[in-house]
Amino acid sequence: MTNINEKVCPSTEETDGISKISTKKITLMILFSIFISAKAENGDNIKVFWSSELLPESPLWYTKPPDSSEIKYKLDRQQDLHWSKISRSSDIRIIIDPEIQYQSVLGIGTSLEATSLYAIRKGRSETEIRKILELLLDPQHGLGFNLFRITIGTSDFSDGRSVSDHPKGFYTYQDNAEDEFSIQADKETGIIAMLKLTQDVAANMDPPQQIKFFAVPWSPPAWMKTSGKLIGGTLKKGYEKQLAKYLRYFVEAYALEGIPIHAVCVQNEPNYLPRDYPGMKLTVKQQLELTIATYEEFHDTRDGKSELFTKIWLNDHNFEYWVNADYILSKLKKSGKGHYVSGTAFHNYSDYSATEMSILYEKHPESEIVFTEHSEWGTAGMFNIQQYFWNWSRSYMYWVTMTTHDLDEHNQGPYNVLGELSPTLLIEKESNPVQWYVTPEFYLIGQFSKFIRPGAYRIACDQGSIDEVTFVAFKNTDGIIVLVGVNQTDEQKIFELIIAGKGTTASLPAKCVGTYIWMHK
């Protein structure tokens, strides 16, 4: 884009009295410059942004973090590219077709579980907290996150010792059968206040940002379980309705606080039984029964109850468990209850491939796919995010946004020591706890979240190769095309972008993610 001050305005020497360049000529030049700038913003140019990896997943980000200057590219804008005739200037040719559309994007975001919320607010004024939240939410000056995972009760990243008798501070909202349901613990630990503040920051941006929360329990109250504890066991037979009511009470209690819940999963990772943090293992038939009970409880309007329109997502576990979701969806449809479930949520903690999501989608295309938990590091992690979207996911969710320097300060789960917890997006400084720094993943994930906006559609695009560069493309609701490329190799890659009979030659440095955006008319 032409810089008027650099290209048009005469030097000081020329402006003694009347410039050698006539006022009329200067005016014409400025108008021409503004016209060229407007054309560039309207899509004649391609904006380019790069971010690079550095020590991905290394514990050094906690013990001896590199200086920020060592991260070579940090969402840095590069020189614009220009469309021209197709030149066949590279063996790597990426063809984009905006007319072929796939799934829409629900959102990209992260978790606001207890550990992250504590670290964000620790020792800070409300103004300082808002600055961090703005950095997460603002698509102009931050990451543009719009989707947030919260917990129903405590999880493996929490510490409720100030409000719970449990030695590690684990709690639910009805620890004993005779107790009244209450989210008071979430109020006393500051969780509710922080979520409200997040909403307020989003609402007061220009323009206001629309955000969504979805929620998941790690364990129901112990009295509903065979183990009699938050750790271990399964749901007692016949307790599906009690747990469904518990989930209703949660949604209603949060709604009274002004925090709507977009969706719930009935159990976090229901196919795994943790040994040292809250959890519960469920058979696929139990998952089906609990799903039915939850939907029917949410939509029960007897005795003056209000109907809840919070969505229900299945699974919330690894790719291989698509077979469980398939079983449940098939059973529901066969019994005329296919509408009970909105979609299936996935994590990535096994050796199975994201292509398993496509298998499920092909069998049940009416049901959405969402990706709800896995942190990613370096360019290899960004390639994973591409794969999630290639395979029909409407979302990507990072897990654990920020930690204190002492990893166990507000985390009583097992992942609170070096080697167990990998670097989060934001980390508290050891020398000054009120200060904090970001890891390279902050910028790398921003290459997606900052530019791909809610409601965008994934569009047809050559995926490339991991030996060269891989790509995924989207079209935002305003017509902007967003192409994200990932170069996992040790060499710069040159490639040609082709769309609607025109092309351009682009490059991407080694171990970098590049985002290329333009208006498609």
Q: pLDDT (tens digit, 9 = 90+) per residue, 131-174?
A: 999 999 999 999 999 999 999 999 999 999 999 999 999 999 99
Q: What is the pLDDT of residue 509?
A: 98
Is the backbone peptide bond immediately before 139 cis, with ω within 30 degrees of 0? Answer: no
List, in order, residues 6 or more apart from 246 with CB less than 8 Å away: 173, 174, 181, 220, 221, 224
Q: Give the span between the Cα atoms of 160 and 402, in whole angstroms.
A: 17
Residue-wise pLDDT for 45-98, tens only, equals 999 999 999 999 999 999 999 999 999 999 999 999 999 988 877 889 999 999
The tokens 């796939």 sit on which residue? Answer: 102
State how far the Cα of 131 lies from the Cα of 206, in Å rounded to an integer: 15
Q: Evaluate if residue 330 carries a pLDDT over 50.
A: yes
State pTM to two decimals: 0.91
Low-confidence winner among 5-19, 447-461, 493-507 (lowest mean pLDDT)? 5-19
Those residues with Cβ within 8 angstroms of residue 460's Cβ, 6 or more apart along the chain or in another chain: 96, 97, 98, 99, 100, 101, 102, 473
Q: What is the pLDDT of residue 89?
A: 76
* Cβ–Cβ < 8 Å for 245, 297: yes
Q: How many CB atoms lie within 10 A of CB 109?
A: 27
- Cα end-to-end distance, the chain, whole Å: 19
Does pLDDT of 24 surpass 60?
no
Residue 291: pLDDT over 60 = yes
144: region left, alpha or beta (phi > 0 left; psi from -120 to 50 alpha): left
